[in-house]
Homo-oligomer: A and B are copies of this chain.
């Protein structure tokens, strides 16, 4: 995993430069993951093994491997005998993912903030710059990528690979959730929040940094349209009612930390 290369190149491009022996299946996995992250593959997209196989000029076996790995990260869903699709997370899962992030990210900060080296600070600054650039350019995909990279880079500094990999998975699933439930098309994370977050982190105050992170995650979640649309059965009347009040109180399970 760790789809960091993701040059977003055309998938079919091949044999051009054999500079890397990186097995094809990994490349397929990373390409698909990146496509999902950056919302070029919306939920519901069908991922045919055969199609992908001929796209990458490779047999179904290797495509299948990539697909299974993605499924284990919950980035695609494999329905028996019915093919793989990029899943549409339900509201409960969405809330749980955010709750999990509110657990893990502050915990990582508890380790990273006290031991922040100068190099780490530079790395964070670079990530923030990339974030700001993406915002200035109004480049949605770049924004999403930059946001993920920021959280990823921050998490890596804690030095706990286990939790880092968990968070990496959560970041991917968050992209999917945002793709499914975003309300406004533009800013899925406000412009300067990461910048402010770095300031707080750099101050060395662990508790403050954790609170800031939790607030940030709550903000992100609040921007989404998380209500039970699973009941898509027959409230057509409600759908047609232009005055429907969709401002049901969140009432999320506040899985913040110990306290």
Contact = CB atoms under 8 A, between A and B. Distances in A.
A107 interface: yes
A163 B110 contact: no
A170 B163 CA distance: 10
Interface in A109-160: 110-111, 158-160
A62 interface: no
Contacts of A92: 161
B107 A160 contact: no
A70 to B, nearest CB: 10
Interface stretch (A93-101, A193-201, A216-224, A234-242): A93-101
A110 B255 contact: yes
Interface residues of A, number: 34
A259 interface: yes
Interface in A209-246: 210
A106 B255 CA distance: 10
A68 B253 CA distance: 34
A258 B97 contact: no
A17 to B, nearest CB: 16
A69 interface: yes
A104 interface: yes
Contacts of A100: 160, 162-163, 166
A256 B110 contact: yes
Contacts of A68: 65, 68-69
Interface of A: 65, 68-69, 72-73, 92-93, 96-97, 99-100, 103-104, 106-107, 110-111, 158-163, 166, 170, 173, 207, 210, 253, 255-259
15 contacts: A68-B69, A72-B73, A99-B163, A100-B163, A106-B258, A107-B255, A107-B257, A110-B257, A110-B259, A163-B255, A207-B259, A210-B258, A256-B258, A257-B257, A257-B259
